[in-house]
């Protein structure tokens, strides 16, 4: 009787643990199916990082035009003509060039680790890059990217209207793996059988443990009572790490 | 299979694939041969197979709930492979650009002729109407253009000017820059505002038609006919047609939103985006040509007005002939 209820409690607590874990449960993650029959995970960028990237691009543009203005202003009519031409190219064609030829990102997007991709996850090419950049002329309206922001909030892929028409998404550049490893420890079989999700939660905890503060790790490790029994503090953490070592099949 | 055994069995394959990706991405960056391949490097011919293996391992790792670190790592390998294999692009070439201007663009304009004609009517209609109205009711222009702007226009087309269409100090190159910056922007705006179910495109077409018509009508009626018409005749063929084509591109987007047919509005918009952008490529090139003529030919007073009208007429003939006849299959 006690065992049953403990098990029920433990699995519901584990479900809470699982909640923040898998990337694909987040609604900004997008899975794209490939012809190989697998799904790749991409993390989409929301309005805030994109606005920041835009701001960086704007400042860069101002800086370039400001510097050129000082220099070309001294050249009279010819200088003013060249200035307007450069302004035109920086404003309309340069972003499209960056996205099509320079790794899918303007300098601002690069600074924030963003990249423009086709809907199917392939690198963006000229037609789509040009379409999304020309259509900025509409996203910009009525002021401060109002339509673009409204459109971004109304579809689940954060697409502004230019993205919708061009069939593009803005995602974070390859999410770097954390680099954490499950610490080595003598493996230990768990006392109760674990479902796959529960196993995954244990693995995830063990992998994250080196990156957590000791107190937080101990706090988390104390939750699944069915696994750690009466252990507390460091002993509980160690118990979970040993179970994780068992689960990955270390000897 | 437990995770540790899985890693032990396949880690070498992943590392070789990763090394190939590293080499390849570096090579693309520098566009050179990159570092010489090591001895046990993955040959290019085996890459698709290695990529499929990584895909399979990713699917297995996910299904067996291996640790997130491993799944993330495989996901990243598969993603990079996917980018490189499916992102491979056809080489752009001068031949393809020429093909677009000699065949693709005029064909596309003919294929979209209903939209092009609609945009042309929205633009040329008010333009002609205003020119005609102002001949009979000259004061009507004050409803449209303020007195200061009119004085400025009259100054630009003063027959005693050495160069037409501008005040004395403005250099050719400066005006070239200005025409590109301003006119192409108008074209882009006309196109992009098609996303407002066409309202913006229709507005910009009519607005520009009214404005240009008012200027032309007023200057004709006020006795500046010769300098004005000899100035605009050269570049008008390119510029006015380009505005109509930008409008057609905007209407293309709008028609996908208003009447998507059997597709969803989103899918219809994506499908319409492709021809619309190709129309804009063409229109932007025409704006470029127009700016060039407008900056370096139109202001000259060295040639008699008759010569300039003749050149203008020839250019109109060329533009119309281009859209009617270029790119048709031979012998048809």
Residue-wise DSSP of A22-46: -GGGSTTEEEEE-TTS-EEEEEBP-
Question: What gap in Å lies between CA A74 and CA A53, rounded to an integer?
Answer: 32
Phi and psi for A118 in degrees, rounded to 5? -65, 165
A82 interfaces chain B, CB cutoff of 8 Å: yes
Q: Sorting pLDDT into bands at 50, 70 and 90, what band is B124?
A: very high
Higher pLDDT pick, B196 / B223: B196
Question: CA of A1 to nearest chain B CA: how many angstroms apart?
Answer: 30
- Asked whether residue A127 falls in the same domain as residue A239, the answer is no
The residue of chain B with its CA nearest to that of A196 is B65
Q: Do B195 and A37 touch (CB under 8 A)?
A: no
Count Cβ atoms within 10 A of the Cβ of residue A230 and give its class: 0-12 exposed, 13-18 middle, 19 or more buried.
exposed
- Percent of chain A at pLDDT > 90 equals 2
Provide the chain A residues 30-59 that lie in CB contact (below 8 A) with chain B.
34, 36-38, 40-42
Contact indicator for A45, A158 with CB cutoff of 8 Å: yes
Residue B235 confidence (pLDDT) above 80: yes
The domain containing residue A75 runs over which residues?
42-172
pLDDT at B118: 93
Q: Find residue A118's DSSP bridge partners.
A: A168
A240 found inside a domain:
yes
Q: Do A166 and B270 touch (CB under 8 A)?
A: yes
Question: What gap in Å lies between CA A33 and CA B54, rounded to an integer?
Answer: 15
Q: Sorting pLDDT into bands at 50, 70 and 90, what band is A5?
A: very low
- Percent of chain B at pLDDT > 70 equals 89
**In chain B, what residues touch A211 (CB-CB under 8 Å)?**
none
Question: CA of B139 to nearest chain A CA: how many angstroms apart?
Answer: 34
A207 found inside a domain:
yes
Select, from the ranges A239-243, B257-261, B290-294, the one with the highest average predicted confidence (pLDDT): B257-261
Angle between helices B225-258 and B199-221 (to 10 degrees): 170
- Asked whether residue A65 falls in the same domain as residue A158, the answer is yes
The residue of chain A with its CA nearest to that of B55 is A38
Residue B230 confidence (pLDDT) above 70: yes
Q: Sorting pLDDT into bands at 50, 70 and 90, what band is B90?
A: low
Residue B31 confidence (pLDDT) above 70: no
A161 interfaces chain B, CB cutoff of 8 Å: yes
- Asked whether residue A148 falls in the same domain as residue A198, the answer is no
A74 interfaces chain B, CB cutoff of 8 Å: no
Helices (H), chain B: 3-30, 47-63, 68-86, 94-99, 105-111, 113-136, 147-156, 172-179, 185-192, 199-221, 225-258, 265-296, 305-325
**Can you tell me which residue has the tokens 């993650």?**
A29
A235 found inside a domain:
yes
Select, from the ranges A128-137, B107-116, B142-151, the one with the highest average predicted confidence (pLDDT): B107-116
pLDDT at B198: 87
Token pair listed for B61? 């790792």
Residue A6 confidence (pLDDT) above 50: no
A144 interfaces chain B, CB cutoff of 8 Å: no
- Percent of chain A at pLDDT > 70 equals 87
A30 found inside a domain:
no
Contact indicator for B307, B230 with CB cutoff of 8 Å: no
Lowest mean pLDDT among A8-12, B11-15, B222-226, B299-303: A8-12
Question: What gap in Å lies between CA B269 and CA B258, rounded to an integer?
Answer: 10
Q: Do A77 and B173 touch (CB under 8 A)?
A: yes
- Asked whether residue A118 falls in the same domain as residue A201, the answer is no
- Asked whether residue A82 falls in the same domain as residue A183, the answer is no
- Asked whether residue A186 falls in the same domain as residue A75, the answer is no
Model pLDDT for residues A22-60, shown as the tens digit of each residue: 444 567 777 888 877 777 778 888 888 888 898 999 999
B279 interfaces chain A, CB cutoff of 8 Å: no
C-alpha R_g of chain B: 29
Residue A8 confidence (pLDDT) above 60: no
Chosen domain end from A115, A142, A172: A172
Q: Sorting pLDDT into bands at 50, 70 and 90, what band is A1?
A: very low
- Asked whether residue A168 falls in the same domain as residue A118, the answer is yes
Total domains present in chain A: 2
Residue A135 confidence (pLDDT) above 90: no
- Asked whether residue A50 falls in the same domain as residue A96, the answer is yes
**In this structure, how many other beta carbons lie within 10 angstroms of the beta carbon of residue A191?**
12
Count Cβ atoms within 10 A of the Cβ of residue B126 and give its class: 0-12 exposed, 13-18 middle, 19 or more buried.
buried
Lowest mean pLDDT among A21-25, A36-40, B70-74, B134-138: A21-25
Question: What gap in Å lies between CA A47 and CA A40, rounded to an integer?
Answer: 23
Chosen domain end from A172, A203, A229: A172
Lowest mean pLDDT among A85-89, A220-224, B89-93: B89-93
The answer to whether the Cα torsion of B279, A96, B123, A84 is positive or negative is negative
Residue B239 confidence (pLDDT) above 70: yes
Mean pLDDT of chain B: 82
- Asked whether residue A182 falls in the same domain as residue A166, the answer is no
- Asked whether residue A74 falls in the same domain as residue A160, the answer is yes
Contact indicator for A199, A72 with CB cutoff of 8 Å: no
- Supply the ipTM of this predicted assembly: 0.73
pLDDT at B83: 81
Higher pLDDT pick, B52 / A188: B52
Q: Sorting pLDDT into bands at 50, 70 and 90, what band is B28?
A: low
When pLDDT is averaged across residues B303-317 and rounded to a whole number, the result is 86
Residue A11 confidence (pLDDT) above 80: no
Residue B248 confidence (pLDDT) above 90: yes
Q: Sorting pLDDT into bands at 50, 70 and 90, what band is A175?
A: low
A71 found inside a domain:
yes
Residue B269 confidence (pLDDT) above 70: yes
Contact indicator for B206, B122 with CB cutoff of 8 Å: yes
Residue A4 confidence (pLDDT) above 60: no
Residue B203 confidence (pLDDT) above 90: yes
Model pLDDT for residues A187-224, shown as the tens digit of each residue: 877 777 877 778 888 888 888 888 888 888 888 888 87
CA atoms within 13 A on the CB side of A70: 5
Residue B44 confidence (pLDDT) above 80: no
Q: Sorting pLDDT into bands at 50, 70 and 90, what band is B93?
A: low
Count Cβ atoms within 10 A of the Cβ of residue B9 and give its class: 0-12 exposed, 13-18 middle, 19 or more buried.
exposed
- Asked whether residue A165 falls in the same domain as residue A89, the answer is yes
Rounded to the nearest angstrom, the gap between the alpha carbon of residue B67 and the centroid of all alpha carbons in its chain is 48
pLDDT at B250: 92
Q: What is the DSSP string of chain A?
A: -HHHHHHHHHHHHHHHHHHT--GGGSTTEEEEE-TTS-EEEEEBP-HHHHHHHHHHHHHHHHHHHHHHHHHHHTTHHHHHHHHHHHHHIIIIIHHHHHHHHSTT--HHHHHTTEEEEETTSSBP-HHHHHHHHHTHHHHTTTTTTHHHHHHHHHSTT---HHHHHHTEEEEES-PPP----PPP------SS---HHHHHHHHHHHHHGGGS-HHHHHHHHTS-HHHHTT--HHHHHHHHHHHHHHHTT--
The model's pTM: 0.72
A204 interfaces chain B, CB cutoff of 8 Å: yes
- Asked whether residue A94 falls in the same domain as residue A134, the answer is yes
Lowest mean pLDDT among A97-101, A229-233, B285-289, B313-317: A229-233
pLDDT at A16: 43
pLDDT at B91: 62
Question: Which one, of B83, B58, B87, lies nearest residue B71 by Cα?
Answer: B58
Question: CA of B240 to nearest chain A CA: how many angstroms apart?
Answer: 20
Question: What gap in Å lies between CA A156 and CA A44, rounded to an integer?
Answer: 10
C-alpha R_g of chain A: 26
Question: CA of A140 to nearest chain B CA: how many angstroms apart?
Answer: 10
Which residues are within 8 A (CB) of A238 and not within 5 positions of it... i.e. 6 or more apart?
A185
The residue of chain B with its CA nearest to that of A245 is B4
**In chain B, what residues touch A90 (CB-CB under 8 Å)?**
none
Select, from the ranges A10-19, A49-58, B76-85, B144-153, the one with the highest average predicted confidence (pLDDT): A49-58
Higher pLDDT pick, B29 / B144: B144
């Amino acid at each position: 009787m006690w065992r049953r209820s403990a098990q029920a409690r433990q699995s519901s607590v584990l479900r809470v643990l699982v909640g923040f874990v898998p990337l694909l449960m987040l609604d900004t993650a997008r899975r794209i199916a490939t012809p190989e029959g697998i799904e790749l995970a991409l993390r989409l960028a929301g309005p805030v990082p994109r606005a920041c990237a835009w701001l960086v691009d704007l400042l860069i543009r101002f800086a370039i035009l400001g510097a050129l203005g000082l220099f070309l202003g001294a050249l009279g009519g010819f200088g003013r003509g060249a200035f307007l031409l450069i302004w035109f190219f920086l404003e309309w064609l340069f972003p499209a060039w960056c996205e099509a030829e320079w790794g899918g990102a303007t300098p601002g997007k690069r600074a924030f680790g963003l990249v423009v991709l086709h809907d199917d996850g392939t690198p963006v090419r000229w037609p789509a890059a040009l379409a999304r950049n020309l259509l900025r002329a509409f996203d910009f309206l009525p002021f401060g990217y109002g339509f673009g922001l409204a459109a971004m909030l109304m579809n689940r892929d954060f697409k502004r209207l230019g993205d919708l028409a061009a069939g593009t998404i803005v995602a974070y550049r390859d999410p770097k793996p954390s680099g954490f490893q499950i610490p080595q420890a003598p493996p230990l079989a768990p006392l109760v059988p674990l479902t796959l999700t529960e196993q995954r939660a244990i693995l995830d905890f063990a992998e994250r443990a080196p990156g957590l503060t000791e107190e937080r790790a101990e706090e988390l490790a104390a939750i699944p009572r069915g696994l750690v029994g009466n252990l507390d503090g460091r002993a509980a953490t160690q118990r979970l790490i040993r179970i994780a070592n068992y689960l990955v099949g270390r000897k | 299979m437990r995770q540790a055994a899985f890693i032990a069995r396949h880690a070498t394959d992943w590392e070789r694939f990763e090394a190939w990706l590293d080499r390849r991405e570096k090579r693309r960056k520098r566009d050179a041969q990159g570092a010489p391949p090591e001895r046990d490097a993955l040959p290019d011919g085996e890459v698709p197979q290695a990529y499929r293996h990584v895909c399979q391992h990713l699917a297995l790792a996910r299904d067996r709930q291996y640790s997130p670190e491993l799944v993330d790592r495989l996901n990243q390998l598969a993603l990079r492979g996917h980018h490189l294999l499916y992102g491979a692009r056809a080489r752009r070439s001068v031949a393809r650009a020429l093909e677009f201007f000699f065949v693709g663009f005029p064909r596309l304009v003919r294929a979209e002729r209903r939209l092009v004609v609609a945009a042309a009517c929205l633009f040329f209609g008010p333009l002609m109407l205003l020119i005609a109205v102002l001949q009979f009711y000259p004061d009507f222009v004050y409803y449209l253009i303020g007195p200061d702007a009119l004085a400025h226009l009259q100054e630009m087309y003063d027959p005693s000017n050495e160069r037409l269409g501008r005040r004395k100090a403005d250099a050719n190159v400066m005006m070239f820059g200005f025409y590109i910056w301003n006119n192409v922007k108008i074209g882009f705006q006309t196109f992009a505002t098609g996303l407002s179910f066409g309202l913006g495109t229709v507005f910009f077409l009519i607005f520009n038609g009214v404005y240009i018509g008012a200027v032309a009508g007023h200057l004709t009626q006020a006795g500046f006919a010769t300098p004005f018409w000899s100035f605009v005749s050269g570049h008008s063929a390119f510029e006015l047609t380009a505005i109509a084509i930008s409008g057609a591109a905007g209407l293309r987007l709008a028609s996908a939103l208003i009447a998507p047919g059997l597709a969803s509005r989103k899918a219809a918009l994506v499908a319409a985006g492709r021809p619309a952008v190709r129309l804009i490529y063409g229109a932007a090139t025409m704006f470029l040509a127009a700016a060039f003529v407008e900056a370096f030919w139109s202001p000259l007073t060295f040639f008699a007005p008759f010569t300039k009208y003749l050149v203008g007429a020839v250019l109109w003939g060329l533009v119309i002939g281009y859209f009617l006849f270029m790119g048709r299959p031979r012998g048809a």
